Amino acid sequence: MSVREIPMYINGQPVPSQSQEWRDVINPATQEVVARVPFCTADEVERAISNAKEAFKEWRKVPLGKRMRIMLKLQALIRDNTAELAALITEEHGKTLPDAEGEVGRGLEVVEHACSITSLQLGELAENAANEVDVYTMHQPLGVGAGITAFNFPIMLPCFMFPLAIATGNTFVLKPSEQDPSSTMRLVELAHEAGIPPGVLNVVHGGPDVANQIADHQDIKALSFIGSTHVGSLLYNRAAAAGKRMQAMMGAKNHCVVMPDANRSQAINNLLGSAFGAAGQRCMANSVVVLVGEAREWLSDIVEAARAMKVGPGTQLDADLGPLVSPAARDRVLRLIDAGEKEGAKLMVDGRNVQVDGYPNGNFVGPTLFSDVTADMTIYREEIFGPVLCVVSVETLDEAIEFINANPNGNGTSIFTNSGWIARRFETDIDVGQIGINVPIPVPVAYFSFTGSRASKLGDLGPNGKQAIAFWTQTKTVTARWFEPENVSSGINSTISLG
């Protein structure tokens, strides 16, 4: 059986790469090779950027209403093709079909937000700021934008980037993850079917060399990155050296605080869904639970519920979690579990030897739970990015807040409580960008900006919401005064009527 080759997308058309370096795209449940993706050459990346630069000359002049109508068509196409997009995600990433459909829905929210571009990109006017002087602002596109995405959300993360960048009048070069590119490519096809003109949205593939070329390139004016802290920090420095603006959403170690007054069953169910959904491969997964006071007595219930979760291929509708994306990812998670045992954490649920009938080669790791975890342990210090939950016990809310604020990362955190006073105290004192109150995965709706703090974010402006509009545009401020013509009957003023 022939294996499909993933093309580039340049000037509105799929274009085969001439690269000599290719990577297999693997179904993580079976190890079957389902596609091959190129690592594009420097000339091919240059071609994509140049094409986007040329397309910008006309796209920036396209009326807001026309851009809005394209986004309206795109959101309808994504909605109509949700099942196909989800199946592609599951085939190459491994997450369950319901989880994949949920991802498509979160990406769709951003496109729906971009449909409001006719109001989002409005400027401001101060009439008579001085005597017969008006001051107003315009939010104009920057030029060529670019996006580099991680593997864990191959639809949602591109939607965090190119719809608003394009809707504001920029052109775009996207480098999706080489591990699961097919759903992203189908999304790009739908974008062109919706009416995005040739050259406005181009796609290249590759690894660090391609990412570095994008970060260094003088014709790229703004770069959005979502991925690991190490890669994000390197790219941020390169982008800064090249004089471009950048947003880098990076690593995380998210905590879920459980207070003794919380709804017990709801808190446990939500906690486990957050920790183990998508096999823990979410930057917003709550991978640490902090049990406060009498909530420490809930540990046995949490353990029992974790043991009851079902592991299977993403196509198995009753599976709670699927495989990890690659053998390398599985091996890394297993090494970290081993390290947790050696460093003295108590292994309450062990997912290392899980077996899935009919899928002997899958990258499966079952739900794994450690108690007695301390801040100096490797399993706490490192982002595991797998189905491993660390349990920390403290006496008071103050201790929980202090413990979380001492972590280098500040991506997301949640608290489960029935006390409004406790919730308000938590949201005020915690130094984390995104907070959930009785919500396990605090990713905000698309018309609010995705945020973060400390080592989880570089750059002042995040994706989505008002911050994304500011990121993808430059503000021009005009101070204008018009004098009455001296002679309205001659020259350039001869057509002016003062009525």
Provide the annotated active-site residues: 283
Q: What is the DSSP string of 387-442?
A: SEEEEEEESSHHHHHHHHHTSSEESEEEEE-S-HHHHHHHHHH---SEEEES-SS-
CA distance 391 to 289: 5
Q: What is the DSSP string of 308-360?
A: T--B--TT-TT-SB---S-HHHHHHHHHHHHHHHHTT-EEEE--TT---TT-T
Among 88, 200, 231, which residue's Cα sits nearest to residue 154?
Answer: 88
Task: Classify strands 286-292 and 388-394 as parallel, antiparallel or unpaired.
Answer: parallel
Asked if residue 32 lies in contact with residue 63, where contact means CB atoms within 8 angstroms, the answer is no
453: how many CB neighbours lie within 10 A of its CB?
15
CA distance 259 to 257: 6
CA distance 103 to 322: 15
| Cα Rg, the chain, nearest whole Å | 25
395: how many CB neighbours lie within 10 A of its CB?
10
The two three-digit tokens of residue 20, written as one number? 């000599």
Q: Which amino acid, residue 449?
A: S
The two three-digit tokens of residue 427, written as one number? 């949201």
CA distance 203 to 214: 12
* Residue 321 DSSP class: B
CA angle 111, 117, 119 (to 5 degrees): 140
CA distance 465 to 472: 11
The two three-digit tokens of residue 17, written as one number? 């790469």
